[in-house]
Structure 1
Amino acid sequence: MFDADSLHEISTGPAPAALPAMQRARGIARVSFKHGTKTSLDDLYQSGCAKVRLPKVYDAPPVAVIINTAGGITGGDRLSYEASVAPGGHAIATTQTAERAYRRVAGHGQVNTKLSAGDGATLEWLPQEAILFNASALHRSMQVDLEGSARLIAVESVVIGRTAMEEAMETVEFQDRWRIRRDGRLIFADDARIKGTPAGILKGKAALTGGMAFATFVDCAEDAEDRIKLARTSLEAFGPGANTRAAASAWNGVLTARFAAPDGRSLRSALIQFLETYRSAALPRVWSC
């Protein structure tokens, strides 16, 4: 006998089961350094996809290399990095390679960084660039606490798309938030936000004049203003007509330099030249691997 209800069930099938939630990356990396006759590792914690490696260095500050073993960041990923140096110490934290923010289905990737340095200590935060792919969404924050005469040298760089591969950047979402305090008092605050089509947002002269790579450098020290001549001398190669543009200013114990470049290769070359000249020291070896 013809059964209309059975035919309907065969033709439409049962309601599809809900798709399981996609797996997301979680990672925490914390490293601290103590100081006696020299600066050395005090404590290390790592979980999830965040790892820390301590390469051997000689006659130089210890280096902590942070690794994201997930291979990149997409919507819903959460990473947390912390680095600290005890009073009188000097340490460097960097990343193994460029971080990549990939296309997301929903949500955004989050990277939170916390840095601290005791009185008389120097902490250098020198990660390699973040590369934003089309339809990616990356939110970052950096909180820094300095005590007494502590010094922070920090740089963050961003590359939007891969111009060498002629990647079409239709949309991207990026937020970056910096808060640096000395003895609890806010001395530097910086926020950046890009949401939409990068070529349109960044075409103005007040932005990147059509460039797709930029960086911010800070040197927070009691005598930061005394280094402005050094900073500007180190930036002389990036004057009018140069492929990469850069400028520096100093006030209230904070020296800041900004970089704008047409692509990632130009920005990276400029940063390496500036950082090694300004710091009078080579960058961590991972920068050249």
Structure 2
Amino acid sequence: MTIAAPPPAVMQRSHGAGLIAVKSVTNRTRLDRLHQSGNAKIRIPETRTECLEAVLINTAGGITGGDTLNWTVECGMNTATVVTTQACERIYKSLGENGRQTTAITVDEGASLFWLPQETILFQGGRLQRTLEVSLADDARFLGLEAVLLGREAMGETLDDAFLHDRWRIRRAGNLLHADDLRLDLRSNNTLHDPSILAANRAFATLVWVGPEEDGEVRALRLGRVRALLAGSAGASAVGPKLLIRMAAPSGYALRRQLMPVLEHLLDGRGLPKVWRT
């Protein structure tokens, strides 16, 4: 008698999708629509300002190969919204597939959206393909951040097998304003510590601010103020209505210390989300 071998185990995958839409009611931003499914959850803490704060939660605790996580943010006219995450997103070791995250953001006339997720931690063997698509009205404001930590500092983890593809597309009135593709593939190229790339740093961030058209003097003043706040391995440049900032730091703690004063400045006095201070 021949006994058939059991079928190979199928790894369970997590899939989540969340949508939040906001509208303006008597000069305050209020929830219009909310949808959440799977491991994607959205919470709205109480605030005492006209700005609505939304906290995105991945109840799976992280992303691994084959997982998907999709966020949609729709900001109605004359709204002000801050979107952040409950904690750092963890990218766990994969058996070969990429984990995938997509974010689609729409910001209507006179609205402001501050996209400020906490840091992404890329574990040894982690694989992430992430897309950020932003559509802005002519006079909309947008502040977007993505910060990445390479390995778990507390465990002394050093990455020599990991993959990250971060794709940004920001359009205003349908015209492409910013395109960015960051690709790190440590399976075939382990040169992160090259002086021309990250040197001794293990944390980095990209920050993009977009506002209405300004004259050259106002734009130069804003750029000068941001550069005065920057420290360490960081740089800022301005092209038209866009301000682009890139940072690198030896640790996540050092990166956050660089980020916070710049974020506070670009938030126009609104203050950072509560979860950033706990």
* TM-score tier (shorter): over 0.9
Q: Report the alpha carbon displacement of residue 148 of structure 1 after superposing the two structures with TM.
A: 2.0
Q: Which range moved further: 277-286 or 58-67?
A: 277-286
The question of 1:138 aligning with 2:128 is answered yes
What SS does structure 1 have at the residue aligned with 2:263? helix
Q: Which amino acid aligns with 1:167?
A: E
Equivalent positions of 1:104-123 (< 5 A) are 104-123=94-113
Distance 1:256 1:168 in 2: 29
- Would the aligned equivalents of 1:170 and 1:198 in 2 still touch at CA under 8 Å? no
The question of 1:207 aligning with 2:194 is answered no
Q: Which amino acid aligns with 2:25?
A: G
Query: 2:259 maps to which residue?
Result: 271
TM-score (norm 1): 0.89
The question of 1:285 aligning with 2:277 is answered no
Query: 1:27 maps to which residue?
Result: 16
Cα deviation 1:236-264 (Å, max 9, x = unaligned): 3544xxxx321111112111111111121
- Would the aligned equivalents of 1:230 and 1:278 in 2 still touch at CA under 8 Å? no
The question of 1:174 aligning with 2:164 is answered yes
- Give the structure with higher Rg (CA): 1
Distance 2:250 2:95 in 1: 28
Residues 165 and 229 (structure 1 numbering): CA distance in 2 closer, same or farther, change over 3 Å?
A: farther
Distance 1:246 1:236 in 2: 11
TM-score (norm 2): 0.93
Equivalent positions of 1:36-115 (< 5 A) are 36-37=25-26, 38-115=28-105
CA RMSD of aligned residues (A): 1.9
What SS does structure 2 have at the residue aligned with 1:201? coil
Cα deviation 1:9-63 (Å, max 9, x = unaligned): 6xxxx34211232110000010010113221110000000000000000024010
Q: Report the alpha carbon displacement of residue 168 of structure 1 after superposing the two structures with TM.
A: 2.8
Aligned residues: 274
Q: Which amino acid aligns with 1:118?
A: D
What SS does structure 2 have at the residue aligned with 1:44? strand
Residues 141 and 84 (structure 1 numbering): CA distance in 2 closer, same or farther, change over 3 Å?
A: same
Q: Report the alpha carbon displacement of residue 227 of structure 1 after superposing the two structures with TM.
A: 4.3
Distance 2:229 2:82 in 1: 26
- Would the aligned equivalents of 1:112 and 1:142 in 2 still touch at CA under 8 Å? yes
Query: 2:151 maps to which residue?
Result: 161
What SS does structure 1 have at the residue aligned with 2:78? coil
Gaps of 5+ in 2: none
Please list every run of at least 4 consecutive aligned residues from structure 1 whose deviation after the TM superposition is greater than 4 angstroms. none
Distance 1:125 1:200 in 2: 30
- Would the aligned equivalents of 2:93 and 2:124 in 1 still touch at CA under 8 Å? yes
The question of 1:254 aligning with 2:242 is answered yes
- Would the aligned equivalents of 1:215 and 1:258 in 2 still touch at CA under 8 Å? yes
Q: Report the alpha carbon displacement of residue 156 of structure 1 after superposing the two structures with TM.
A: 0.7
Identity between Structure 1 and Structure 2 (%) = 38
